[in-house]
Amino acid sequence: MPTKRRFSLCGLTKGAGRAYLTAENEHGRAPEGRCERSMKIRNSLKTLKNRHRENRMVRRKGRIYIINKTQKKFKVRQG
């Protein structure tokens, strides 16, 4: 029988500004070392837009994102 997989946020603490997505096993625990960095979550994107000249502000599904196709470290979502 295949195990059920659920996804949850791990490592997200108050003021951390980063979201981590993990797959949990049937016991509700994430396997060790399986946290993947998804993107930073910030309240204001105005200053983050100017950090790199190739940053672009896009609106998708009612949320605002800053994306950069050359340097992925500038990926951020307004939250």
21 — pLDDT class (breaks 50, 70, 90) = very low
pLDDT tens per residue, range 23-70: 555 555 555 555 556 788 999 998 888 999 999 999 999 999 999 999
- Shared-domain flag, residues 50 and 75: yes
Give the single-character DSSP code of 49.
G
- Shared-domain flag, residues 1 and 32: yes
Q: Which domain holds residue 25?
A: 1-40
Query: In the prediction, which pLDDT does 79 show?
Result: 80
- Shared-domain flag, residues 71 and 60: yes
Q: Are 46 and 74 in contact (CB under 8 A)?
A: no
Query: In the prediction, which pLDDT does 72 show?
Result: 87
> What are the Cα distances from residue 60, in Å, to 3, 8, 48, 71?
32, 22, 18, 20
- Shared-domain flag, residues 34 and 48: no
Q: Residues 15-22: what's their mean pLDDT?
A: 51
- Shared-domain flag, residues 26 and 47: no
- Give how many domains the chain has, as a whole number: 2
- Shared-domain flag, residues 47 and 32: no
- Shared-domain flag, residues 30 and 49: no
Helix, strand, coil percent content, the chain, rounded in steps of 5: 10, 40, 55
14 — pLDDT class (breaks 50, 70, 90) = very low
